[in-house]
Amino acid sequence: MLLGKALGAGWRVAVRGTDPERLDWLDQKLWLGPEDGFLPHGLAGGPHDAAQPVLLTLDANAANAPHCVMSIDGAAVAPDEVQALERVCVIFDGNDESAVQAARTQWRNLTGAGCSAQYWSETSGRWEKKAEA
């Protein structure tokens, strides 16, 4: 859903992960796509990385020159990146305590460096803003 909204805004997106196998898994899931259409994307390392609307990557310097970075599985995001991009999303599993702790650390590091941030949760079944800094 977030990828579709970002593409709808006209943004290129880098989905930054930490594990090549996890990105392979995500690539396979995205090829199955939503029932109402295809989500254009590629796995970094291909011949057309720079042209990908959504690039799944381990690299902080994504070849598709993204407007938005979606960090998964605790992938690092630097404060200067946050300030240079249209949007950064740190996505984590709220049921995984180590993922929650990693996200809290990212929040403290980014807001401590002067980045504005919002925390959204979907626990109630719909997205709700829980905090803003």
Ordered DSSP codes for 69-117: EEEETT----HHHHHHSSEEEEE--TT-HHHHHHHHHHHHHHHHTT---
Q: According to the model, what pLDDT value does residue 36 have?
A: 65
Share of the chain above pLDDT 90, in %: 78
**Which tops the pLDDT comparison, 105 or 38?**
105
Taking the CB of residue 82, how many other CB atoms lie within 10 A of it? 19
Q: According to the model, what pLDDT value does residue 90 have?
A: 96
Residue 106 contacts residue 115 (beta carbons within 8 Å): no
Q: According to the model, what pLDDT value does residue 32 have?
A: 81
10 Å CB burial of residue 64 (0-12, 13-18, 19+) is buried
Token match 């291909």: residue?
46
Chain segment 75-99, per-residue pLDDT in tens:
999 999 999 999 999 999 999 999 9
Q: According to the model, what pLDDT value does residue 126 have?
A: 86
Q: According to the model, what pLDDT value does residue 125 have?
A: 80
Average of per-residue pLDDT values in the chain = 92
Chain segment 31-71, per-residue pLDDT in tens:
886 666 678 999 999 999 999 999 999 999 999 999 999 99
CATH of domain 2-95: 3.40.50.10110
Sequence ranges of the domains in the chain: 2-95
Token match 């980045």: residue?
115
Taking the CB of residue 81, how many other CB atoms lie within 10 A of it? 18
